[in-house]
A and B are shown apart, each in its own frame.
Chain A
Amino acid sequence: MTGVRPKQLNIDTTFPLKVYTVAELPAAALFSNGAHLFVTDEVGGAIPAFSDGTNWLRVTDRAVVS
């Protein structure tokens, strides 16, 4: 691939994800695929999760957050 490097946000520090408990999670369908957040009390421990348009999935194994 070639071309001019596209513009992107300049992030110069660690970036915060919105933090939720499992009970507080909004409906994944409200968000576009790939939206991600942080769950503090997922069964396997605190973890980032992302929306596939239907569910919030763990980044480790794509299991539905529970």
Chain B
Amino acid sequence: MATGSPTLFDTGGSTVVPVGSPSFLDTRGIQIDPVGSPTFYDTRGIAIDPVGSPTFYDLKGTRVGVGAFVRVKQFDVSNPFPSFITIVSELPDPVGLLGHYAYVSDAVGGGTLVFSDNSKWRKWEDRIEVI
């Protein structure tokens, strides 16, 4: 498998737990390269509990590994993190997208990151509305 690719094997099903987090059932194995990232095999189920801690169940349904992370859980980003790329005229309505961001390739001054303040799309570098 390609390095950096999360891979699920023999996943028997999936569902959504009450808090809306993903859950994978009857997952035979999960491997995330490269070395140093977690590898789980023969995992009966995985859920994300209401406080955000991953919960792992073994084949007998026994909970293991609850809250095993010391640091705040975050993405394992092994490459520069990509942005959604668009042009100014195709940016969606910023209303309702507070805190969303994108990369616009044709802003005055050149391509740049922009964020929604729930009213306008503003450039990261100076908060000026992108045009």
Contacts and interface: CB of A to CB of B under 8 A. Distances in A.
B51 interface: no
B20 to A, nearest CB: 14
Interface residues of A, number: 29
Contact of A47 (B80, B81, B127): B127
A8 B79 contact: yes
Nearest to A42: B127
Contacts of A60: 124-127
Identify whether the interface residues of A are mostly helix, strand, loop, or mixed.
Answer: loop
- Residue from B5, B72, B80, B126 having most chain A Cβ neighbours under 10 A: B72
A7 B77 CA distance: 11
A12 B84 contact: yes
Given A6-B79, A7-B2, A45-B117, A14 B100 contact: yes
A2 interface: no
A16 B74 contact: no
Interface of A: 6-19, 26, 30-32, 35, 37-38, 40, 44-48, 59-60
